[in-house]
Amino acid sequence: MKNFISIVAAFDEKNGVGIDNTLPWKLQKDLIRFNSITYGFPIVMGRKTFDSIGKPLPDRTNIILSRDKNWAAEIRKKYPEVSVLFSWEDVLLWVNEHNPGKIFIIGGPQIWNLALPYVDQLLLTHVKGEYDCDAFFPKIKLEEWFKTDEIEYNEMSFVNYIKNKKNTESNKKNIELVNIQQFMEINKSKHLNDNEKILYAKVKKDSLLLIEELKSKAFIKNKDLVFYSSETDEVKKSLEIRWFKERFPMI
């Protein structure tokens, strides 16, 4: 099984991610998005990121990278459910052994740098404005990535990318399947403001058009699309309460 590795990060207009091991902003929607994306999956972080959180995040496998074996022993004793590894190679071995399907790299800068060559997807929050920061997200070469989704708010925008493959047609199909899979996973929120309802309606329309296009191309054989092979009223009703996870994580 292919393990899908994603980076999750939020940074300002100068790539700043934090100061004194804390976030310089408070963005509730970004926290909700982060939790909805990573819920139920392994997350990988460095020691400083773990210290800034202060405890393991619930309902996720917490993996911490640290070269300090004494610190690792203390953390393992205090939190037996946490895995402390000593190198990025150890993370790759862990992934190959456990086959989690999805794994999320949540920081900080050194860990993101180590992970970038192996990452399939970037799930980014672009925070508007500039903040006083002493830690920064690594610069990425956008030509190496395809943008799959973007949604803008007053304070920030959510932007998602997948790795650019050599085969353009294959990459286009990958983008379509990623979006469809997200569309299938999440129930519609009951807490939307007027602007978000308008955005949801547009996303739903675009999604249904994409589904029809995929069906016409015989991609329906893919297991992620079998759900859409029926035209019953029950299926149509189900479609009305499903939407993209990373575009609208308001649940």
Question: Each residue of 25-58: pLDDT tens digit?
Answer: 999 889 888 988 898 999 999 999 999 999 999 9
Least confident of 9-13, 127-131, 161-165, 231-235: 231-235
Spans of all domains in the chain: 4-163, 168-243
Which amino acid is located at 205 in the chain?
Answer: K
What Rg value do the Cα atoms of the chain yield, rounded? 19
Please tell me whether residue 26 adopts helix, strand or coil conformation: coil
Please name the residues in contact with 201: beta carbons below 8 A apart, sequence gap of 6 or more. none
Q: Return the SS3 of 15.
A: coil
How does residue 148 score in pLDDT terms, banded at 50, 70 and 90? confident
Q: Name the least confident of 38-52, 126-140, 168-182.
A: 168-182
Full 3-state SS string of 213-246:
HHHHCCHHHCHHHHHHHCCCHHHHHHHCCEECCC
Average pLDDT along the chain: 77
For residue 143, the one-letter residue type is: E
How distant, in Å, are the alpha carbons of 77, 108, 209, 218 from that of 212? 53, 41, 5, 10
**CATH topology (fold) of 4-163:** Dihydrofolate Reductase, subunit A (3.40.430)
Going from the C-alpha of 228 to that of each of 20, 191, 204, 245, the distances in angstroms are 49, 27, 14, 18
pTM of the model: 0.69
Q: For the segment 84-97, what is each residue's pLDDT rounded down to a tens digit? A: 999 999 999 999 99
State both tokens at 83. Answer: 């895995």
- What residues have CB less than 8 Å from 205, skipping those under 6 apart? none
Question: Which comes out higher in pLDDT, residue 233 or 52?
Answer: 52
- The pLDDT of 161-172, averaged and rounded, is 61
Q: Which two tokens stand for residue 56?
A: 């393991």
Is the CB of residue 251 less than 8 Å from the CB of residue 36? yes
CB half-sphere exposure, 144, CA atoms < 13 A? 10
